[in-house]
Chains A and B, each alone.
Chain A
């Protein structure tokens, strides 16, 4: 049983086609890296899984995207509950202008949870999961903006974990971080794998190699190659993949 499947997915921004007939199947509890040069469609593809592209006007999607076997683009799907199940971490750490505590509690509150004790416990476990607890436990009431960039990004991951999604989408989560913070986030990704299915967009080949089990290489809206990360990096079948991962273009 696959966690995520996309079948013959085409995606259009207005008249221009951004994704061409994408077929991918992702196993549960794995990390999948989406790589490719800027504008290749990897971020667009990632945002299909929580229907974040819906926010853009004039888009068209054909084909099927299945999560746990159900087509998330079917009529009558509740997008809010889909997004509760499919969390997202963004390129730039974007904590809300609220306290550290309220940032993590936000997802619970908007989903109707009011039990104070429950919220407190969930916030604590979530922050502990991202190994941030010791750094923030004495200043939970302080603004999230007081944290460093790396801490903010881990807080955003905690915010996403608090509502207990089963899939986590990460859109270049470390591109704005220094090497130490990057290493911490990568370590987290590795640990989170046991509980979640993770899809990560990255520009960093080494990162894809370090954190992912499978890798998909996109080029100009096409899925060029999708394979085990090791196979894809060491023994790619396609010349375009070979050229990209060795830095000959991109």
Chain B
């Protein structure tokens, strides 16, 4: 009897210790995020105002705003997505809905995973040699967008595939069982059900792309431009690169420090807005999908 009590006690104690450690580690994640955010906010919030986000940089980046970098980042994100969304989504549909299990599918899958594992600086180099030099786009928004698009492609493919896999097979069977073709089934049943998750995946990849520095380093990014880009063959400034430049190789690093924190804050806010948007859209389409 006494022995049994002992065992129960020790079981409880072990459980308490284990849960304490788990809890501690979980909260530490929240704490880390909180610390990073508050660090950036405290340091950066003082420089943020209307002029900061709508004016050109001045006096060797020590004064003025970051307007061209914001615009450049928006252009690059939009450009990369125009490229990556259709290709990625269609590839995922093809792989998940059409190809039978076999060597071909395994190869495509493995290659997609390999693509995802390539360091982003290598994408930058590749983009430079292909888009900038070989195709003669020069340092340009189009070259940067294509490079970023390549980087986003595996993410888009994978999230779309996951979204399609999550669609219960009985929906497909029910549709095919009514004489619908595979394409009708995909378009009218599978895609609407998977849509909220596809959108979420896509928007999260936007978040990822908007923060990348290495791929735009050799393909589009400009240290400073006195005017906004007017065509897709122009160079552009971009937030992450701007941050990198004024923190490392400017002529007045100390003076531009506050601007660097302000830039970081703007970048974080953009990514945050994108994530919130993803959540909102998923909920919105999640409700809508039940109806149509």
Contacts and interface: CB of A to CB of B under 8 A. Distances in A.
Given A90-B173, A96-B189, A57 B178 contact: no
Interface stretch (B88-96, B204-212, B213-221, B284-292): B284-292
Contacts of A57: 100-102
A223 interface: no
Contact of A84 (B101, B178, B289): B178
Contacts of A183: none
B174 A52 contact: no
A156 interface: yes
Contacts of A58: 101
B177 A88 contact: yes
A92 interface: yes
A106 B189 CA distance: 10
Contacts of B178: 83-84, 87, 106-107, 110-111, 159-160, 163
B170 A106 contact: no
Contact of B188 (A90, A110, A145): A110
A156 B280 CA distance: 31
Interface in A155-190: 156, 159-160, 163
Contacts of B292: 97-99, 102
A143 interface: yes
A107 B179 contact: yes
Contacts of A15: none
A80 interface: yes
B184 interface: yes
Nearest to B101: A57
B247 interface: no
A1 interface: no
Contacts of B179: 80-81, 83-84, 107, 110-111, 163
A94 B291 contact: no
Contacts of B188: 106, 109-110
Interface string B189-206: 100110000000000000
B120 interface: no
Interface string A100-123: 001000110111000000000000
Nearest to B286: A97
B175 A96 contact: yes
Nearest to A145: B290
A234 interface: no
Nearest to B187: A110
A97 B177 contact: no
Contacts of B173: 52, 55, 88, 90
Interface string A129-165: 0000000000000010100000000001001100100
Nearest to B289: A97
Contacts of A107: 178-180
A145 B171 CA distance: 13
B257 interface: no
Interface of B: 100-102, 168, 170-181, 184, 188-189, 192-193, 289-292
**Shortest Cβ-Cβ A-B pairs, 3 listed:** A84-B179, A107-B178, A110-B180
5 contacts: A50-B177, A96-B189, A97-B292, A145-B290, A163-B179
